[in-house]
A and B are shown apart, each in its own frame.
Chain A
Amino acid sequence: GDSVTQMEGPVTLSEEAFLTINCTYTATGYPSLFWYVQYPGEGLQLLLKATKADDKGSNKGFEATYRKETTSFHLEKGSVQVSDSAVYFCALRKDTGFQKLVFGTGTRLLVSP
């Protein structure tokens, strides 16, 4: 079945460091891909998305490019802030029939001053 694999955390960085969180997926067809962020005690917020190959999603300095050839959707940010500390989830959605999100296990990011 469809699945998403993320790098295990926690990822610990100093403020202004470069961030990469790896995400690969397994799915038939052409899923849409998402990154969600979960701050402590809160639900999920959509961070960015891409709906087709080579699309780049971006928001708040975060970017991810849909790479069909490597089935990847890695999250990057050039300079992290303490406020970026959260859990990040990669997810896919098949746009046929009813639609559900399939999530990875999440990667915790800790940014220190």
Chain B
Amino acid sequence: ETGVTQSPTHLIKTRGQQVTLRCSSQSGHNTVSWYQQALGQGPQFIFQYYREEENGRGNFPPRFSGLQFPNYSSELNVNALELDDSALYLCASSLEANTEAFFGQGTRLTVV
């Protein structure tokens, strides 16, 4: 069984640019959640997708947007990057919206 995979593993972007992060959910999982983990902090919930629809959102501005595809993989897009967006971005998939979340290894984004 393939676990949750994220790409790329590391990324460096310049302030003001746009970035797309990708997540392949575990086989059979229809729910994907995205979290931002700043250095030395716990993960913060960004949003959740369930069967291709946004199912809930945390306190992040609209320049953080997402997408879920028919195969339940997902993208996180961030526009107009700011220095504070530098963080580890974690994707988690679950069988349904209310079941155990399995995390990927994350994408480390550095904004310079």
Residues of chain A having any CB pair with chain B under 8 Å = 4, 36, 41-46, 49, 89, 91, 95, 97-106
Contacts and interface: CB of A to CB of B under 8 A. Distances in A.
Interface residues of B, number: 25
Contacts of A101: 33, 35, 43, 45, 92, 101
A99 B45 CA distance: 10
B104 A98 contact: no
Given A98-B50, A98-B56, A43 B101 contact: no
A103 B42 contact: yes
Pick from B50, B56, B101, B104 the residue with the most CB of A within 10 Å: B101
A100 B35 CA distance: 10
B17 interface: no
Interface in B38-67: 40-45, 48, 50, 55-56, 58
B97 interface: yes
A105 B55 contact: no
A41 B105 contact: yes
Nearest to B108: A41
